[in-house]
Amino acid sequence: MLIKEIMTTDVKTIPSRSTIQDAAKLMSEFRIGCLMVAEKKALAGIITEGDIIREVVSKNRLPSQVKVEDVMSTEVVAVGPDTDIEDAANAMVEKKVKRLPVVYHDQLVGIVSAIDIVAAEPKLMEQIAKIMLFPVKRKPAAG
């Protein structure tokens, strides 16, 4: 099965010069955990809820004064629409990401999440679980 068969094509984007407040409003409005940062459909980066918490909230910065470009990740792992979903799952696990933008001829055409992959190919659930679940470090039993 190919990524183009399961990807979401209605990708929510934001320009890099927008504020974190704008990004948070869009994420809240659409109930999504990330936005692709794009300039004229060309992928420039990605911003996630985690980025906002780590780089803005936890540092007590004002969301209205911080630009998306100051927080976004620019080293984005992307796939093409003709990528096999198992290869996409492998890329997610290797790079420890839960979402992959789908790019075709340098244009953002979709997004696929780990949940999308598991829904389409339940046999990949164990593999995807590696990035969805965080191992709990346990103290050795006293004894």
Going from N- to C-terminal start, the domains of the chain cover 3-132
Kindly tell me the sign of the dihedral angle through the C-alpha atoms of 129, 120, 29, 105: positive
Strand partners, 38: 43
The pLDDT, as a whole number, for residue 121 is 80
Beta strands in 9-106 (DSSP E): 13-14, 34-39, 42-48, 99-104
Query: How many degrees, rounded to 5, is the angle at CA 20 between CA 18 and CA 21?
Result: 100
Mean pLDDT along residues 77-82: 96
pLDDT for 143 beyond 70: no
Q: How far apart are CA 57 and CA 63, in angstroms?
A: 8
Q: How far apart are CA 73 and CA 13, in angstroms?
A: 14
pLDDT for 137 beyond 70: no
The pLDDT, as a whole number, for residue 136 is 37
Contact 33, 42 (CB under 8 A): no
The whole-model pTM stands at 0.79
Q: How far apart are CA 93 and CA 125, in angstroms?
A: 11
Please write the tens of the pLDDT for every residue from 118-133.
Answer: 888 877 766 666 666 5
| Homologous superfamily, domain 3-132 | CBS-domain (3.10.580.10)
pLDDT > 90: percent of the chain: 68
Q: Read off the pLDDT band of 68 (50, 70, 90).
A: very high
